[in-house]
């Protein structure tokens, strides 16, 4: 059993046969987290993985279904950290996933330098707005805007954590692509794989998935486009399989 607090609920992660604690009063995970979890390279039996800006633990949980290695999640908001810990325990993943409460800007006080094989991160997407433009819900504002950490903070922390040759993967918005590329190179993460995600065919991309290798050689590959919905507004086969499992009938 799991203790649910206030307005919390248990939602299904159908493809992974797990459940996760969520609440309408804090930022819930989106499809972006699922896309990043499936895009990211993972060692299967040997290595260590860190997920930054973990929120309620969605990405560590999704990754744990694909690998046997140790996964550490880092989250700064106490409410989300607590939800993540309880979700990990509910799914019996506490021997594989550990959560750290802390600030990515102070990553050197939380985790070891050059110690990890993979870092994933779904960071806040938007620049910090003026106070009167922010979401009145603090949890939503922090998740969406660079209030407590910037894009550079997350990229710098990722580089700090990775071994040479380790891989960092991010999900973000296309409008920040040039910022991401320049900051990755500044912090020794050579961009290696880039995938544009489109709501449906004929629409502009609204999401990017990008992977870099610490001290890697220049050789950026642009992967085939990923469409979330088809022309009939149904999930594409690829996204459907991510959400519901490959053995499920899409129709």
Topology, domain 30-244: Rossmann fold (3.40.50)
pLDDT at 156: 98
For residue 164, give every residue at least 6 positions away whose Cβ sits within 8 Å of its Cβ, in sequence order, or none: 114, 214, 215
Residue 170 has pLDDT above 80, yes or no: yes
Q: What is the DSSP letter of 149?
A: -
Under the banding of pLDDT at 50, 70 and 90, the label for residue 131 is low
pLDDT at 148: 72
pLDDT, mean over the chain: 92
d(CA 19, CA 81): 16
Question: Across residues 146-175, what is the average pLDDT?
Answer: 93
Question: Across residues 239-246, what is the average pLDDT?
Answer: 95
Under the banding of pLDDT at 50, 70 and 90, the label for residue 134 is very low
- Hunting for tokens 């996204």 — which residue is that? 239
pLDDT at 86: 97
For residue 19, give every residue at least 6 positions away whose Cβ sits within 8 Å of its Cβ, in sequence order, or none: 10, 11, 12, 13, 87, 90, 91
% of the chain residues with pLDDT over 70: 89
Under the banding of pLDDT at 50, 70 and 90, the label for residue 1 is confident
**What is the pTM for the complete model shown?**
0.91
Q: Among candidates 145, 126, 65, which has minimal Cα distance to 97? A: 65
pLDDT at 190: 98
Q: How far out from the chain centre does Cα 107 lie?
A: 17
Q: Mind listing the pLDDT tens digit for each residue in 70-128?
A: 999 999 999 999 999 999 999 999 999 999 999 999 999 999 999 999 999 999 876 65
d(CA 182, CA 184): 5
Under the banding of pLDDT at 50, 70 and 90, the label for residue 138 is low
Q: Domain-by-domain residue ranges, the chain?
A: 30-244
> How are beta strands 9-13 and 18-22 bridged, if at all?
antiparallel
* Sign of the dihedral through C-alpha 57, 58, 59, 64: positive
The upper half-sphere exposure of residue 120, i.e. CA atoms within 13 Å in the direction of its Cβ, equals: 31
Give the C-alpha distances (Å, rounded to integers) separating 31 from 62, 81, 235: 12, 20, 11
Q: Mind listing the pLDDT tens digit for each residue in 33-62?
A: 999 999 999 999 999 999 999 999 999 999
pLDDT at 27: 79
Q: How far out from the chain centre does Cα 204 lie?
A: 22
């Amino acid at each position: 059993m799991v203790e649910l607090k206030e307005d919390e609920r248990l939602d299904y992660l159908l493809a992974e046969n797990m459940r996760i604690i969520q609440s309408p009063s804090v930022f819930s995970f989106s499809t972006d987290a699922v896309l990043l979890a499936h895009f990211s390279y993972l060692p299967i039996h040997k290595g260590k993985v860190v997920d930054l800006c973990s929120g309620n633990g969605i990405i560590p949980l999704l990754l744990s279904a694909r690998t046997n290695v140790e996964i550490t999640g880092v989250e700064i908001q106490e409410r989300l950290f607590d939800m993540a810990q309880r979700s990990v325990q509910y799914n019996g993943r506490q021997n594989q996933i550990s959560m750290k409460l802390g600030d990515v800007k102070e990553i050197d006080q939380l985790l070891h330098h050059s110690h990890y094989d993979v870092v994933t991160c779904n960071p806040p997407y938007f620049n910090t707005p003026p106070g009167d433009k922010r979401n009145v819900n603090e949890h939503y504002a922090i998740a969406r805007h660079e209030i407590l950490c910037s894009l550079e903070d997350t990229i710098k922390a990722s580089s700090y954590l990775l071994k040479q040759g380790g891989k960092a993967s991010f999900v973000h918005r296309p409008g920040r692509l040039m910022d991401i590329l320049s900051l990755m190179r500044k912090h020794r993460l050579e961009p290696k794989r880039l995938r544009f995600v489109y709501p449906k065919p004929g629409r502009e991309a609204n999401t990017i998935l990008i992977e870099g290798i610490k001290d890697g050689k220049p050789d950026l590959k642009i992967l085939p486009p990923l469409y979330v919905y088809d022309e009939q507004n149904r999930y594409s086969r690829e996204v459907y399989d991510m959400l519901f499992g490959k053995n499920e009938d899409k129709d």
